[in-house]
A = this chain, B = another copy of it.
Amino acid sequence: MAAQIIDGKKIAAQVNEESRKEISMLARDHNFQPGLAVILIGEDPASQVYVNMKDRKCRELGIYSAKHVLAAATPQEEVLELIAQLNHDPKINGILVQSPPPPQIDEEQVVAAVDPAKDVDCFHPQNVGKMFIGRQDGFFPCTPYGVMVLLERSGIDPAGRHAVIVGRSNIVGKPMLALLVQKTAGANATVTCVHSRTRSLPELTRRADILIAAIGKPEFITADMIRENAVVVDVGMNRVEDAGTQRGYRLVGDVKFDEVAEKAAFITPVPGGVGPMTIAMLMHNTIKACKMQHGIKI
């Protein structure tokens, strides 16, 4: 195998260690403890797993964690009331509503109800806008932000390089475009976004110095679609049936790892690549929220 593996677990552990130190300092110097409220509506098993992981990581690092589990049939107004209450709760610096909510919930309205200063997921349009125009006083969404940190800590400077993003979701593709194109250190990339409507997609992915796969199709990116020595970041996380495993499925990314790893210079594995960064950046954002709310320099 030619490619150097970008070890997301290790980098996430570094970020978490830095967070832990920051939390200690906040306690020591200011007597503040950052607090995160996570709202889970319903019993989606995958959502439960994510929410429990976030809750556990908070406790591990010393962030106050408030987990609100609401019944699947909870009406919109109750969710909005809870958010209003958390917006005013001084113990809570960050609020997130686990996605996807059940069908009776209007997610757009729920997202808009969160105080932008506590919107650590960067789902509120105001924070999306701040990110896009290059302001640093909002939040960056956790997964794309995690990708930026992976690149930075692997010594990969996107400046002047061609980053090709496969996918245009609001959660990954579009914010990757926004973060990579900025006129700031660690960004400054030439950016291209390809997607379901793109003609001759492989021709464009082959031009990528940095390829970000976030299209949600198992093993979509094959070796013939990348350039020799590209940096390949796999944001995909797909379940494919596999009778040979105990669970009956295995997790694969959007990249055909084995063959792409032969050709790339750097590659993130799935799992253990981008995944662990998402929660690490959520913790980081919660600390940032706490500092901003208390007027402490970020």
A interface residue numbers (CB < 8 A to B)? 108, 124-130, 132-135, 138, 159-162, 168, 170, 174, 177-178, 181, 183, 188-195, 197-199, 204
Contacts and interface: CB of A to CB of B under 8 A. Distances in A.
A68 to B, nearest CB: 25
A160 B198 contact: yes
A205 to B, nearest CB: 11
Nearest to A161: B199
Contacts of A197: 159-160, 183, 188-190
Interface centre among A128, A181, A183, A190 (most CB of B within 10 A): A190
Contacts of A127: 125, 129
A220 B161 CA distance: 21
Given A168-B183, A181-B195, A192-B193, 7 more contacts: A125-B126, A125-B135, A128-B133, A133-B170, A181-B193, A190-B197, A190-B199
A190 B181 contact: no
Contacts of A162: 198-199, 204
22 contacts: A108-B135, A124-B129, A125-B130, A125-B133, A125-B135, A125-B138, A128-B128, A129-B130, A132-B132, A132-B174, A133-B170, A159-B197, A160-B197, A160-B199, A162-B204, A177-B191, A177-B193, A181-B195, A189-B197, A190-B193, A190-B198, A192-B193
Nearest to A171: B133
A10 to B, nearest CB: 30
Nearest to A191: B193
A161 B195 CA distance: 11
Contact of A192 (B138, B183, B192): B192
B132 A178 contact: yes
Contact of A126 (B129, B177, B195, B199): B129
B125 A174 contact: no
A247 to B, nearest CB: 33
Contacts of A132: 128-129, 132, 170, 174, 178
Contacts of A195: 181, 183, 190
A127 B130 CA distance: 10
Contact of A190 (B134, B135, B174, B194): B194
Contacts of A126: 125-126, 129
Nearest to A188: B197
Nearest to A199: B160
Contacts of A125: 125-130, 133, 135, 138
A134 B132 CA distance: 13
A164 to B, nearest CB: 9
Interface centre among A125, A130, A183, by most B CB within 10 Å? A125
Contacts of A199: 160-162, 190
